[in-house]
Amino acid sequence: MRKTLVLSLLLLLIGFVPLSVIHPAKAYISSSQWGAPTWTDTYDPFNNYVSVGYVSGSTWTLNLNVYNSEYNGSVYVNVKVVTVAVWFDWNTWYNTSRSDVINAETNYVLTVTNTTAQSPTPATNLFTHSYRIYVIVQQMYQSSGGAAFKTVTWGPDSGSEFAVIPQIEYSAYLAENKYYNLYDSIPTSYLRSYADSFNLFEMAETNLETGLMYYGIGNFSSAISSFNTAYSMLNQSFALYTGQEKQYNALDLNQTKADLNLQLAQINQVNANASYYTAQGDAAKTLANGQSSALMINSVGFLFFGLGFIVFGMAAVSYARKPKSPPS
């Protein structure tokens, strides 16, 4: 019973707490996005995984989504952004002065730019870096003496795997990609069709592997040289392949023409033979018809000759049997 009474009194006291002291969450940085980086979610043979990277000396851009839920007592208030501060782990601050006014309970986008540090000093390229982002605002409110301001810091919004890329490393990266772009644009499997093109293709691949080895240990000058040699050999290999293929196709076309001519000659010979035998057949037919006609004429002649002989014989017999008159 005593516990129930204590709990009831506690709930009653909570009910008397003014709602003005129960505040929503503080304003904050909703998200951050790097604008147009050199690398995004990239695997690099030297740096391994890179979330975002810029070439040293280039301009980086940062877009911040923020939400203003600052309040004074029970009233939400507007704020004025005075500074966007970005800290990198090579112990350097990049501060940008601002004067944006953000209304209460409002989303807002802040965009800041700055120059990427030089590498390898002060920002080494031996590993990727971490960073933190802060937004410093002034809260405007009324006091007994009039308008007053209170400085508030939003953040931090943190990140890592940020790469600062020396120009020579980026040049090696471009040389490597130039080789792969050519590799993907030609039928490399066909380069094995001929000995000369295959030999150059294998040499190109060897130089590529050498370039990747140099890149991995940070010898970017040698990597560039190997990648360029690999590209040149791959290009020559493809040129040899296309030249050999044209010659082969020309020979194949000539052979095809020769085969067609031979077939045409054979067809003409067959037609000539057919015409000859047709002519011979017609002549034989004509001769046979003539011989058949002569035989028929002879047969008819012999038939009439035989009939005449029979009639003559019958007449002779009839005469012989006729009674003769006695002599006077």
Cα(235)–Cα(154) distance, integer angstroms: 55
Top CATH class of 21-165 equals mainly beta
pLDDT confidence of residue 284: 53
- What's the distance, Cα to Cα, between the start and end of the chain in Å? 202
CB contact burial 274-300 (16+ within 10 A = b; e otherwise)? eeeeeeeeeeeeeeeeeeeeeeeeeee
- pLDDT confidence of residue 74: 81
Q: How many whole angstroms separate alpha carbon 142 and alpha carbon 107? A: 23
Contact (Cβ atoms closer than 8 angstroms) between residue 149 and residue 139: yes
> Do 52 and 162 contact (CB within 8 A), yes or no?
yes
For the chain, the domains span 21-165, 167-321
Say if residue 326 is preceded by a cis peptide, omega within 30 of 0.
no
CB 110 within 8 A of CB 135: yes
From residue 262, how far is each of 50, 147, 268, 276, 295 by CA, in Å? 67, 106, 10, 21, 49
What pLDDT, on the 0 to 100 scale, is given for residue 117?
A: 97
In this prediction, residue 303 carries a pLDDT of 47
Split the chain (328 residues) into runs of 10 and give each run's mean pLDDT. Answer: 46 38 61 96 93 97 96 87 97 96 95 96 96 94 72 95 97 97 92 91 97 97 98 95 77 51 60 63 56 51 51 50 49
Strands 79-88 and 92-97: antiparallel
What pTM was estimated for this model as a whole? 0.66
Q: Return the SS3 of 262.
A: helix
